[in-house]
Amino acid sequence: MTSLLEKIHDYIFRVKRTSSMKVDAYVVKHPTMSIELDALKQLIDTASLPHIFKHIVSTPDIHKGFGCPIGTVIASKQIVVPAAVGYDINCGVRLMLLPLPIKEVEKRSETLLSRIWREIPAGEGEENIQVDEFTLKEVCEKGLRFSSYSSTSWFKKYTSFIEPEELDWRVDADESSSTLSAADFKRVSYRAIERGSSQLATLGGGNHFIEIGYIKEVFNISGDLKRWASEFFTPEKELTYIMIHSGSRGFGHQIGDDYMKPAKSMRKREGILPNQGLGFFYKSEDWYEAYLGAMACAANFAYVNRALMGAIIRKIFVETLGVEPILVRDISHNIARFEKFGKQTVLVHRKGAVSARKGKIVLLPGSMGTNSFVLLGEEEKHASLTFFSSAHGAGRVMGRREAAGKRGRPGKVSWEEFEKSMEGIKWKTKSKRSALEEAPMCYKDVNLVVETTEKAGIASRALELKPKLVIKG
């Protein structure tokens, strides 16, 4: 199947259109990297959907997902595809900076790790802040602006640790605020409400993490990074960063499931289902607006979830070290939004992909044991081919069961290999198995992903970040 790839640039390939495909599919990848055959098959299936605008594209971190690959961008005018957003709606990354050298933070590393672990539950199904249905509706429909209306005791506890500027451009490059205005709580199921009512301020499991490290190298300070240039971007100081990767938890997962099932059954009856995960809704159907309304609720939930975790961490740092972290950016990588391309307004679905407009910050984490990068969007020649979208991380090369084993049989990653890969890093995980599932060798080389992103003219590296303390679910 890889013979279908036609080289059009050193780092960009086109999938030759087959009889079932409605549009071309472009693959942005490093020339030395192979593409997973299951992911390529899903990409071809996605290109078989009707009413796709121009073409579809995959980012360098592509790997198999549900319905369509993780690391896929599609734009449409007449349909919405829930699987092209994914189950973890508005999974994203929040970056904060601390005007303190990492060596000072490491002196209190045990206290910081234990407090964060205690105050922010990590792992599947964990609960933290309990809210009633009215409060959840406020969170879902108002996003972070919910804090302006709330009188609940738990929110008052953290309000002073949520920066007022979190309501402006620093929350997501594509949004004028931290709230998706299309949110419609009546489109959310009772089961989703049940699941979401106890999961605010929780990290989740899988690849979700909280990471503390330092700025290892500075490459380019321009665009949206200029604001902090004099204070933070002197690498000899090894100043501290904090990164949070999480999403909409069981709330968003339930919404995804609630809409993927009818999307599948409706299109299956019509005989236009490219694979079992790729259902969709036409714009003429009520389901279209219903999904967008529910998706926006999950997205706002995720913004508030990350903001609350950020507030808890900010509180811990103030109480432990007397220094307050500053928010740089909170960015989504699982979402659908209306965007303009020329004179056309289209619904851009990004699943495991990040908006990378000129000068805008792109957060690209590595694995739990490798460096991460802050990039700046470039909008060079081939960037429009990706709908101005970048990779969202390193991307898996090994499945969780393959890495950790199953049914009593060992996996491909030994505990000795894992410990060696984490030398110099203090870490906490929910279990030994979850550590093996997220071992650095389960992911692509993040340096090659970044090189590809630069060479394709999508985004250029600005900062390189090195982890020192890591929490995983």
Q: How much is the mean pLDDT over the chain? A: 90
Residue-wise pLDDT tens digits, 423-459: 999 999 988 999 999 999 999 999 999 999 999 999 9
Q: What is the dihedral of CA 437, 460, 30, 74, to 10 degrees?
A: 80
Instruction: Please report where in the chains the tokens 């008052």 appear, as a residue.
Output: 156
- Map residue 64 onto helix, strand or coil: coil
Length of the chain: 473
Residue-wise pLDDT tens digits, 165-195: 554 445 553 443 445 678 999 999 999 999 9
319 vs 312: CA distance, rounded Å: 11
Report, as an integer, the average pLDDT of 52-76. 96
Identify the CA nearest to 70 among candidates 334, 332, 330: 334
Lowest mean pLDDT among 270-274, 362-366, 466-470: 270-274
Q: How many C-beta atoms surround the C-beta of residue 266 within 10 A? A: 17
33 vs 26: CA distance, rounded Å: 15
Identify the CA nearest to 335 among candidates 326, 318, 348: 348
Burial of 455 (0-12, 13-18, 19+ CB in 10 A): middle
The CATH topology of domain 2-397+443-472 is tRNA-splicing ligase RtcB (3.90.1860)
392 is annotated as an active-site residue = yes
Q: Write down the catalytic residue from 30, 253, 333, 392.
A: 392
Domain residue limits, the chain: 2-397+443-472
352 vs 449: CA distance, rounded Å: 13
Angle at CA of residue 339, ends 219 and 96, nearest 5°: 40
Higher pLDDT, 407 or 440: 440
pTM here is 0.94
Grade residue 3 by pLDDT with cuts at 50, 70 and 90.
confident
The answer to whether residue 162 scores a pLDDT higher than 80 is no
Lowest mean pLDDT among 2-6, 56-60, 186-190: 2-6
> Residue 163: its pLDDT value, please?
63
> Residue 178: its pLDDT value, please?
47
| Terminal-to-terminal C-alpha distance of the chain | 36
Helices and strands, number each (H, E), in the chain? 13, 21
Grade residue 382 by pLDDT with cuts at 50, 70 and 90.
confident
